Copies of this chain bind each other. A is one copy, B any other.
Amino acid sequence: MAGWYEETFRDSMRFSVRVHATLHRERTDFQTIEVLQTPFFGRTLVLDGLFMTSERDEYFYHEMISHPSLCMASSPKRVLVIGGGDGGTVREVLRHPEVEQVTMVEIDRRVVEVCKEHLPDIGTAWNDPRLEVRFEDGVAFVAEAPPASFDVVLLDGSDPVGPAEGLFDKTFYSNVRRVLSPSGVFGLQSESPILMEEVFRQVQHTLAEVFGSVRPYFGTVPLYGASTWSWTVAAAEPFPMDMDRLKRLEPDLRYLNVDVARGMFAVPTDLRRLLSRD
Contact = CB atoms under 8 A, between A and B. Distances in A.
A183 interface: no
Contacts of A254: 269-270, 273
A23 interface: no
A21 interface: no
Interface of A: 4, 6, 10-18, 38-40, 59, 194, 220, 222, 225-228, 250, 253-257, 259-260, 262-270, 272-273
14 contacts: A6-B16, A11-B18, A11-B39, A12-B40, A13-B17, A14-B15, A194-B220, A220-B228, A222-B228, A226-B227, A227-B228, A263-B263, A263-B264, A263-B266
Given A222-B226, A227-B194, A10 B266 contact: no
A156 to B, nearest CB: 20
Q: How many copies does the complex hold?
A: 2
B260 A268 contact: yes
A257 B266 CA distance: 9
A215 to B, nearest CB: 12
Given A14-B16, A15-B13, A266 B259 contact: yes
Contacts of A226: 222, 227
A267 B226 CA distance: 20
